[in-house]
Amino acid sequence: MKKHTLSVDFHWEKWSAEEADLKGLGKKTAARLLFEIDLIHHFEQELLRLKNADAVWGPVHSSVGQEAVAAASIGPLKKSDKVLGSHRAHHQFLSKALNYVLGDWDPGTQEWPGEAQEVVNRTFAEILGLAPGYCGGRGGSMHLRWKEAGFLGSNAIVGGGIPLAVGAAYAEQKLKSGNVVVCYFGDGAANQGAFHEALNLAGIWKLPIIFFVENNEFAVGTRNDDACAVKDISQRAASYGMDGYIVDGQDTPGIYRLMEKVSGEIRKGGRPAIVEAKCWRHYHHAGDVPGSSYGYRDKEEEARRLALDPRTRFPESLLEQKLLTKKEISAIEAAAKKAVETALDFCVEGEDKTIIKESLWPDPATAGEGMRSDGSELEGLPYIDDTYSGPKKKARYSESIALVTGRWMEKDSTVYEFGEEIANFGGGAYGATKGLPDRFPEQVVNTPISEAGFTGLACGAAMTGLKTIIEIMFPDFALVAGDQLFNQIAKARHMYGGKTDLPLVARARIATGVGYGGQHSMDPVALFALFSGWRIVAPGNAFDYIGLFNTAMHSNDPVIFLEHHSLYTKSFEIPENDLDYCIPFGKAKIIKPGDDITVLVYGVMGERCRKIAEKLSGQGVSAEIIDLRSLDLPSIDYDTIGRSLQKTGVMAIVEEAAGAQTIGPRIAEQVMVRFFDYLDAPVGCISSLNVPNSVSRRLEAAAIISDDEIEEKLTAMAKRAWR
């Protein structure tokens, strides 16, 4: 038996500053770093004081003990570089924002600028939930964002922002900006699946990103040794084709020099990297109580770590090297403290400065605003009527998906589509990208089987200048990417103050009725409808698909397209020479007029119910079939529904989805509230059995609502015999 020792292509270093590194900072940089460290420290201490006075609503995850990590790691970055943070990100936000507005400001020789004071004021206001905050108070402590400064967002979901950071880096690479993205997170996040999926994508595409781990040794109270199979998280860089680095989180010049080096190499085309700063969180997970009070640390350990704190260690070293005098150090701390006190005065009042100024609270009337764009980007689009009478040609549904996607890639180089196998087989697994991989090899991107990873990537890229499309091969896989789809994409605009555009289209192919079983055949309409940040469309033919897709691509909101597999091979008429027309969101279409019963449908059920309605006509029942097309609840076309009910007096909502996965009951509730006087009977909801689909041909057929069942129920309703 022969054996061969294998080696790993892995560059791994541990850095620590020497005397020359400290001197090499120079007086101005050293003073700036010390100023930021002091400002962040006093900022956090005041927040904790306000939290204890119940002036801060929600948790305060302070960075006390980790101030220098942010100041020293962000200091070497360019103003245009991008940063994303975790739930513990006050220090990162302040450092990035201040570096953006201060430029080459020297705290030793120059006055504190008003725009820098505004940064501290507005950051305080945001964390206190006040209107002057960067997100209007909606984001608070854990959801900070200032796009203009390059701080793309902090994130309350542990590890949730890592795929977004990879997406931002992807956008920066494709836009050839020369910028680097730095993604900050803690040791706990390195055990999330999103971490591994995202790092793999960054490694595959050699993205310009630094994954910066603030390893403070504890998640909440669980020590990293008990949660991670390797001693050093940076060792995981070996698995993803990256470089790895370790630095002491109390070593301010060491962090600065390391980030200078790593960011510089990445700008020259080097590999992405993991930088692991071994640091220390002075307090418990949240609040100002030490961890020893909870029993997972001891007081001796805390005292030993406190003695190494960079707020003590760094100024002492500056004195030793005669970079700053005691007087200068005291003046810097006094200036930093004054900036925090000024921000405090901006937000609170009272003798003990714990009462929020009433004038700063957001207007409660705005609580529901900003879930989606104001729609101004959709004004003036080339909308056409459903009765289009120009030259037409036949096209299959799947062919039309490829045609309109290709049209967008042709006219807009920032359009990228991501998904599993979409660049293979000449057009993806089901033909929806037919011909596109050859025409647009850079824009049609195969991904690993990493739904959370590439979904989050598409979100981050859409927030950073690209228009992104993702193919979720089967809707059930949306559950794998649930955090990215629903905690991130669906909430980002509102959470970050209503100002975050997300030009993203998701596509999902519903595979009901072909034996794929319970984990490949769900209808996700009700799932997406739970999150009103999503627009939902279900085109029942190729004509509608093209028009709605164009509107979606013009939109600044995320849109999910529900595509039924049985439509893929069917041919429909589309305009012969126009792939740019639009169909407005929220506009239903009457497929067949009628007088006896209103029937609401979407997707594949449109044609099924039209044929059933033709049969009912022979029995003296006149059914009006309305294809909703737009299915997110704010976009339901109640005007068209109301006009129909004035004629018919009775309504049914017919869906192929399993009972609990339908939106019918929610629409029915609104219909009965809005049009109670028009109704002769309660609204009927018709759907498939409330079970996952079986692989067995007979069992699946028994579970899916049949045409005969629909016909029977509609007949009974039309005759007011509904039970």
Best CA proximity match to 160, nearest among 495, 389, 477? 495
The whole-number average pLDDT for the span 538-546 is: 98
Residues ≥6 apart with Cβ < 8 Å to 184: 70, 83, 84, 85, 86, 89, 92, 212, 214
Confidence band (pLDDT; 50, 70, 90) for 132?
very high
In the residue annotation, 669 being an active-site residue is answered as: no
- On the CB side of 540, CA atoms within 13 Å amount to 24
CA 273, 274, 278, 281 torsion-angle sign: positive
List domains and CATH numbers for the chain.
17-356 (3.40.50.970), 376-575 (3.40.50.970), 589-718 (3.40.50.920)
Q: Is the pLDDT of residue 489 over 80?
A: yes
Best CA proximity match to 74, nearest among 40, 103, 99, 105? 99
Beta bridge partners of 507: 471, 561
Q: Is the pLDDT of residue 238 over 70?
A: yes
Residue pLDDT, tens place only, 441-466 = 999 999 999 999 999 999 999 999 99
pLDDT at 326: 96
DSSP state of 218: B
Percent of the chain with pLDDT over 90: 88
Q: Is the pLDDT of residue 576 over 90?
A: yes
Write the DSSP string, 620-652: T--EEEEE--B-SGGG--HHHHHHHHHHHS-EE
pLDDT at 582: 98
What's this model's pTM, rounded to 2 decimal places? 0.95
Note whether 285 and 88 are within 8 A (CB). no
| Phi, psi for residue 106 in degrees, rounded to 5 | -115, 115
Question: In the chain, count of helices (H) and strands (E)?
Answer: 22, 22
Q: Is the pLDDT of residue 488 over 90?
A: yes
Q: Which residue do the tokens 């691509």 mark?
A: 553
pLDDT at 294: 85
Residue pLDDT, tens place only, 413-427 = 999 999 999 999 989
CA distance 536 to 636: 10
Q: Is the pLDDT of residue 613 over 80?
A: yes
CA distance 404 to 583: 13
Confidence band (pLDDT; 50, 70, 90) for 435?
very high
Residue pLDDT, tens place only, 213-235 = 999 888 887 877 877 888 899 99
DSSP state of 693: P
Confidence band (pLDDT; 50, 70, 90) for 722?
low
In the residue annotation, 520 being an active-site residue is answered as: yes
Note whether 273 and 211 are within 8 A (CB). yes
Note whether 391 and 575 are within 8 A (CB). yes
Amino acid occupying residue 247: V
CA distance 217 to 222: 8
* C-alpha dihedral (642, 648, 651, 654), degrees to nearest 10: -100
Q: Which residue do the tokens 């992807």 mark?
A: 170
Strand-strand pairing, 348-349 and 355-356 = antiparallel
Note whether 650 and 720 are within 8 A (CB). yes
Exposure string of 340-368, with b = 16+ CB inside 10 Å and e = fewer, is: beebbebbbeeeebbebbeebebeeeeee
Note whether 239 and 195 are within 8 A (CB). no
> Distances in Å between the alpha carbon of 276 and those of 186, 246, 329, 340?
9, 5, 29, 29
For 539, the token pair is 């085109």
Note whether 166 and 488 are within 8 A (CB). no
Best CA proximity match to 450, nearest among 209, 199, 205, 235? 199
Residue pLDDT, tens place only, 72-108 = 999 999 999 999 999 999 999 999 999 999 999 999 9
Residue ranges in 212-274 assigned as alpha helix (H): 252-267
697: left (phi over 0), alpha (psi -120 to 50) or beta: alpha
> Distances in Å between the alpha carbon of 177 and those of 82, 166, 412?
11, 15, 17
| Phi, psi for residue 598 in degrees, rounded to 5 | -95, 130
CA distance 628 to 638: 10
Q: 584: buried, middle or exposed (CB in 10 Å: 19+, 13-18, 0-12)?
A: middle
Low-confidence winner among 40-44, 234-238, 389-393, 709-713 (lowest mean pLDDT): 389-393
Question: How confident is the prediction for the chain on average, in pLDDT?
Answer: 95
The whole-number average pLDDT for the span 464-489 is: 96
399, 451, 563, 607: the catalytic one is: 451
Best CA proximity match to 457, nearest among 484, 480, 479? 484
The whole-number average pLDDT for the span 560-577 is: 96
The whole-number average pLDDT for the span 191-213 is: 97
Three-class SS state of 585? coil
143, 282, 520, 565: the catalytic one is: 520
Supply angle C-alpha 229, 231, 235, rounded to 5: 90
Percent of the chain with pLDDT over 70: 100
Three-class SS state of 276? strand
Three-class SS state of 504? strand
> Strands, E, within 403-484: which ranges?
415-419, 444-446, 467-472
The whole-number average pLDDT for the span 485-498 is: 97
CA 245, 246, 249, 255 torsion-angle sign: negative
Best CA proximity match to 166, nearest among 191, 204, 199? 199
Residue pLDDT, tens place only, 283-336 = 888 888 888 888 888 898 888 888 889 999 999 999 999 999 999 999 999 999
CA distance 451 to 184: 22
CA distance 422 to 428: 4
- On the CB side of 476, CA atoms within 13 Å amount to 12
CA distance 168 to 80: 12
The whole-number average pLDDT for the span 366-393 is: 93
pLDDT at 723: 58
